[in-house]
Amino acid sequence: MKNLLSMKDLTVEEIMSILKQAQLFREGASSQLKQDYTMANLFFEPSTRTKMSFEMAERKLHLNVLPFDAGFSSTLKGETLYDTVKTLESIGVDALVIRHEQNDFFNDLIGKVKPVIINGGDGTGNHPTQSLLDLLTIQQEFGTFKNKVISIVGDIAHSRVARSNADAFSRLGAKVNFVCPPNCNAEFEATYNIDEVIESSDVMMMLRVQHERHDGKSNFSKAEYHQQYGLTVEREKRMKENAIIMHPAPMNRDVEIASEIVECERSRIFKQMENGVFVRMAVIEMILKGRE
């Protein structure tokens, strides 16, 4: 693994190896990285979780982290992403985490620049470290992915989480259901009815309604969306014993998920965030060790 752009880049063996190392980090293992590396996190879209999680992972690995402020950089003067990355290469940066609004932004970079590229989310495309932390959370819960029923519910057309996860879950043997409003589906075979899956799912993975990616006004009020596609208090009660709730966050409380159940016993939402740090440590360590 030279870069991490998409879950499709990873073999099942590599995925399992990352999850194993992440779990070891979670249990207190120290990093095996020998050299001091310099990283930078280029977030061209707002983020709290992913950015802070990478920042924490990098510090736990004792890396040197340069601050980068997309809102105050030369991209404002029209500099291309390629030239910005070449600049950071010249300055001595070894690895970059990049979140960018453009799908497949990395196509302009791979094979042409020296720093490692870790995709922190590209437009409506991929978000591989989110997938990995989702996988770790499911593995911790069930020990296996085989025949687990995972229902991904919401705005799947605009969701890089849905895209990143779908393929990986399937390859690992899970069964994936998609549930979405009629106008939302772009490429996945989906049902429109959350009640069809609520009682049979091991994982209810609720997606955020991405108001900022809808240019026009939505067809639904928040209350209507919640009633038709949300994980309501009532639906939570009908979930299988031992079934869990996940959400990549940020959440719209009382839209895709009832506020009262965000921290209920089934919820793994904040545990997902805990796992994010360890998964990212594992990814960074694995890629940088490959360069030593």
- Residue ranges for the known binding site for L-aspartate are 77, 160, 208
- β-pairing, 38-43 vs 64-66, is parallel
User: Residue 175, interface with a copy of itself (CB under 8 A)?
Assistant: no
Return the residue of 240, 271, 286, 289 that touches a copy of itself, per CB under 8 A. 271
User: Residue 91, interface with a copy of itself (CB under 8 A)?
Assistant: yes
28 token code pair: 């207190």
Beta carbon nearer to a copy of itself, 195 or 263:
263
Min dist CB 222 to a copy of itself, Å, is 11
Please count the residues of this chain forming the interface with a copy of itself, following the rule CB under 8 A.
52
User: Residue 140, interface with a copy of itself (CB under 8 A)?
Assistant: no
Return the residue of 53, 119, 126, 129 that touches a copy of itself, per CB under 8 A. 53
**CA distances (Å), 198 to each of 47, 60, 145, 156, in order?**
30, 39, 18, 17
User: Residue 80, interface with a copy of itself (CB under 8 A)?
Assistant: yes
Return the residue of 252, 261, 281, 287 that touches a copy of itself, per CB under 8 A. 252
User: Residue 222, interface with a copy of itself (CB under 8 A)?
Assistant: no
Cβ neighbours of residue 224 closer than 8 Å, sequence gap 6 or more: none
Contacting positions for a copy of itself (CB under 8 A)? 38, 40, 43, 46-49, 52-53, 55-56, 59, 64, 66-80, 83-84, 86-93, 208, 211-212, 249-253, 270-271, 273-274, 276-277
